[in-house]
Amino acid sequence: MSIFHKAYSLFSYPVGLTIDLWAAIFKKNATPKGMWLERRGIYDEGVKALSPYDLWIHGVSVGEVGVIKAILDRLEKKDTFKVLVSSFTEQGYLVAKKAFKGEYNVIFYPLDYKISVKRAVTTIRPRCYACIETEIWPNLINELSRQGTRLLILNGRISEESFNSYKKVRPLIADTLRLFEKIFVISEIDRKGFLALGARKERVFVSGNAKYERLIDLPGNFKKGSLERAVQKKDAFPKIVAGSIREDEYKIITGAFLELKREFKGAFLVLVPRHLERVKEISEFLKRKKISFKKVSELRKNSFAIESLDCILVDEIGLLYGLYSICDFSFVGGSLVNKGGQNLMEPASWEKPVIFGPQYKNFLDAGDALLRDGGGVMVRDRDELFNAFLRFSKDKTLRKRTGQSARKSLLRLGKEAATIQSKALFEALS
């Protein structure tokens, strides 16, 4: 352990001890069941029973869980390996539980203090550990390395915010990155970012984005649920799905939507907030605007009767991708506010036109490809969003051509990234 790791470990110890005691006293009944036990590195017998694991693979949230699935689906001889999947956020955990039900155990990621990671590593004892994108937790990585675990980063990405944060503690991050055997990154920009933070040049490889390869084949294997079928049957045009909405984007979107309804009275909107805690706030706003809507949880109680509605507000996780399949055109959120955007290629995989804002730096490769190929439109405010809604509503040929171009962008960017990374994972496990 380097002097930087020692300093970090000592600093995190009293913080971790405080969290440990606080969680033990006040978070016994936290939901999902066992969340705070697992954050402290304490697992149930079902997890313990399979230890030692061949592979522990981690993705922080919903998007990264999708990458895990894409890579594991392509992993050679995957049924012969004992695999443990972890996520940090509650939504990521729930999506992983659903995606890997009956196949792999799923846990909450431990907090990065000595007591927690010691418990976790001692229990799990993985031969190989792989993290998705940018999850550099020094205590856990150091403890895994000390135990002799092979370490990989898959689908590595360094955002501007992450780079600036890591740069402040570069000696610690550099020591941690040098413990990884291989680092597979999305782009040359990401490669330069990892190298600038101290990763070894000969261990960093550009492999493309595994999120995209997964999306190429997904539409052909997707089965529409009750919600998608109900929206598809509804006599409405145009049908707009606005996904991954962040902050006040819903106000801009509904403003453009209400203006569109003056010319297209049958216009129908599906709003999908990125975080479910915003549902109450959005509901109150829609009521004030006198927009006829229902939440998905309410529709389930009423056999998805939506004929009288102008809008659906999604208050459940895991529905967005399927909803993109039934829209005439889409808007992808997190891009009109400074959140870096969300996955622009999800609607593109269904050959749907993609509208997004200028703040898409987390998906630069996708946004730039869509703009270059004619598969997407960038808007800056409500007026430009309304104009995009109006153009796509009026021109069927434009909708079709733009959607096809969006799909072509996806095919070009896919380039077997998940396959390349699954092969590297298999080599590490063999």
Angle of CA points 33, 36, 42, to nearest 5°: 95
The residues, any chain, with a CB within 8 Å of residue 247's CB and separated by 6 or more, are 337, 339
Classify residue 390 as left (phi > 0), alpha (psi -120 to 50) or beta. alpha
**Residue 91 pLDDT greater than 80, yes or no:** yes
pLDDT of residue 396: 97
- For 33-62, write each residue's pLDDT tens digit: 788 889 989 999 999 999 999 999 999 998
Average pLDDT over residues 259-263: 97
**Residue 324 pLDDT greater than 80, yes or no:** yes
pLDDT of residue 27: 66
Do 272 and 243 form a contact (C-beta atoms < 8 A)?
A: yes
- The H-or-E segment that residue 9 falls in is helix 3-26
- For 121-176, write each residue's pLDDT tens digit: 999 999 999 999 988 999 999 999 999 999 999 999 998 888 999 999 999 999 99
Helix ranges (H only) for 305-395 are: 320-324, 345-349, 364-373, 382-394
Tokens representing 9? 């470990």
Rounded Cα gap, residues 132 and 153, in angstroms: 6
Return the SS3 of 323. Answer: helix
Q: Which of 95-99, 162-166, 374-378 has the highest mean pLDDT?
A: 374-378
On the question of a cis peptide bond just before residue 238, with omega within 30 degrees of 0, the verdict is: yes
Q: What percent of the chain has pLDDT over 70?
A: 98
pTM assigned to the model = 0.82
The pairs formed by 282-288 with CB atoms below 8 angstroms and a separation of 24 or more are 282/245, 282/250, 282/313, 283/313, 285/250, 285/251, 285/254, 286/254, 286/311, 286/313
User: What value does the mean pLDDT of the chain take?
Assistant: 93
The residues, any chain, with a CB within 8 Å of residue 423's CB and separated by 6 or more, are 76
**Residue 20 pLDDT greater than 90, yes or no:** no
CA atoms 216, 218, 221, 226: torsion sign: negative
**Residue 31 pLDDT greater than 70, yes or no:** no
Average pLDDT over residues 208-218: 90
Domains of the chain and any CATH numbers: 3-208+415-429 (3.40.50.11720), 224-413 (3.40.50.2000)
Do 269 and 311 form a contact (C-beta atoms < 8 A)?
A: yes
Output 179 or 35, whichever has higher pLDDT: 179
- For 385-404, write each residue's pLDDT tens digit: 999 999 999 999 999 999 99
Is residue 154 classed exposed, middle or buried when 0-12, 13-18 and 19+ CB atoms within 10 A define those classes? buried
